[in-house]
Copies of this chain bind each other. A is one copy, B any other.
Amino acid sequence: MRSSLSSGGTDLHLELPATGSRRAALAGALRDAVRDGRLAPGTRLPPYRALAADLGVARNTVADAYAELVAEGWLTARQGSGTRVADRVVPGRPAARRATAARQAPAAAVVHNLRQGQPDATAFPRTAWVGAVRRALSAAPNDAFGPGDPRGRLELRQALADYLARVRGVRTTPANIVVCSGFAHGLRLLFGGRVLRGPLAVESYGLAFHRALLASAGVRTLPIGLDANGSRTTELPARGGPSAVLLTPAHQFPTGGPLHAERRAGVVDWARGRAGLVLEDDYDGEFRYDREPVGAVQGLDPSHVVYFGSASKSLSPAVRLGWMVLPDHLVDEVLRAKGEREAWAGVTDQLTLAEFITSGGYDKHIRRRRQIYRARRNRLVEALAAHAPHITVTGIAAGLHAVLRLPPGTEAATVEAAARAGIALDGLAAFRHPDATEATPHADGLVVGYAAPTDNGYPRALDALLRVLPAKGA
């Protein structure tokens, strides 16, 4: 069925499919015509009767289609002036955005990804995960698909309480765990949600993103020093100043050492002595290579430590699940900050991770990844020993990255040379707190994430890295 509208010099060809609702087809054809500009604003449409005759449809069909488009604002109908194309329609689709096109192109030609904090994306356990989704969704009670509990699903909190006790020495109950979408979300809840207020003592090295997040919540961060025994928690004031400190005790990020045993114990004493808190970012606690993991500081005193963990390193940063283990007195306040319903963590991921943990799949995955990352670390250490023995490598007992100590003054040039060689990585300077004033033992260095490449890509990435390291005596 075809018709040509002719109005004010505009000829319009309408063609309707042979099957289906006439009204819907006509409305769709008219809508398209208005949208793409074939029917210009102000154009008067033919009377019902005329178009109905042209198309061989009932007059009511045309009337209904016009009414629908009037209701949607495409057309206007005024007494005495018939039906017209509305003035406000802006024809055409928005032009493809140049800025976005640029954004979609890679920012630079990264050939070798040696960024810290990223597990090998090819290693996500797809098949095991799908199996866990299937089992989790078939076992879930119906209320799982109603509005979510802001604490997170009980299945997940139970699995985490058991897992963290077994693997990290965390002492807690499901009632003290609040699920979130990652460490940064946890920080936002605590500080953006005004559960805690600044100032906050932080390590002199850490992620600039976390400092920016705290700053945007109005929290001043005060760096404490760093030496061979880890962050100098002994500097924390017994009164006045910050009453909370954010630490990465198992594996200082990114410099790599563990917090010394005496400082672990001492910082808990400090928090207890002034009703303060240790915020423990256990970002890669499962990946320790040379001996049993150093347990979580949280296990020393669950009432003065907030413990944070996530699936970002163990599974993927694209799985947006994290967890906070809270002292009793903070649980209700964090839930108040989170809101009446779960607005962040999806139920499928929560149930699936719970099933993945309790079925043993999570342990198996981590065990396998630990072996692989340990081998990669060894390869890095051996390659440096063989080809760049003047470069010391530190922070290698754990985690997904190591720090290469560089000759003084060579870091910036080395990072630039790496970028030119297509290697994505960061220098230590990128992590240094802007207010850190003292000299540190980590003046010049590269943070090398050895987990990010694929198994095949890693040897080549390592070769490329060796080629950009400063020569001896540089």
Task: Enumerate chain A interface residues (CB-CB to B < 8 A).
Answer: 24, 27, 31, 35, 68, 70-74, 76, 86-90, 93-97, 99-101, 104, 118, 121-122, 124, 126, 129-130, 133-134, 137-138, 140, 142-148, 169, 171-173, 175-176, 181-182, 184-185, 209, 258, 261-262, 264-265, 268-269, 272, 291-292, 294-295, 297, 299-303, 316-321, 327-328, 331-332, 339-349, 352, 454
User: In the complex where A145-B121, A147-B317, A343-B185 touch, is A73 in contact with B176 (Cβ < 8 A)?
Assistant: no
Contact A173 B93 (CB under 8 A): yes
Complex: A301 Cα to B297 Cα, angstroms: 56
Complex: A93 Cα to B346 Cα, angstroms: 29
Contact A172 B94 (CB under 8 A): yes
Residues of B within 8 A of A340 (CB): 209
Residues of B within 8 A of A35 (CB): 171, 299
The smallest C-beta distance from A150 to any residue of chain B, in angstroms, reads 10
Complex: A167 Cα to B176 Cα, angstroms: 44
List the number of copies, as a whole number: 2
Q: A320 touches which one: B68, B90, B299, B344 (CB < 8 A)?
A: B344
Residues of B within 8 A of A297 (CB): 73
Contact A320 B346 (CB under 8 A): yes
Given contacts A27-B292, A100-B175, A144-B318, 11 further A-B contacts (CB under 8 A): A68-B292, A72-B169, A86-B300, A90-B300, A94-B328, A118-B147, A122-B142, A122-B145, A126-B137, A129-B137, A185-B343
Contact B126 A138 (CB under 8 A): yes
Complex: A269 Cα to B76 Cα, angstroms: 14
Contact A145 B185 (CB under 8 A): no
Complex: A320 Cα to B149 Cα, angstroms: 13
Closest residue on chain B to residue A301 by CB atoms: B90
Contact B344 A264 (CB under 8 A): no
The smallest C-beta distance from A313 to any residue of chain B, in angstroms, reads 12
Complex: A301 Cα to B88 Cα, angstroms: 7
Complex: A86 Cα to B297 Cα, angstroms: 13
Contact A299 B72 (CB under 8 A): yes
Q: A343 touches which one: B97, B181, B348 (CB < 8 A)?
A: B181
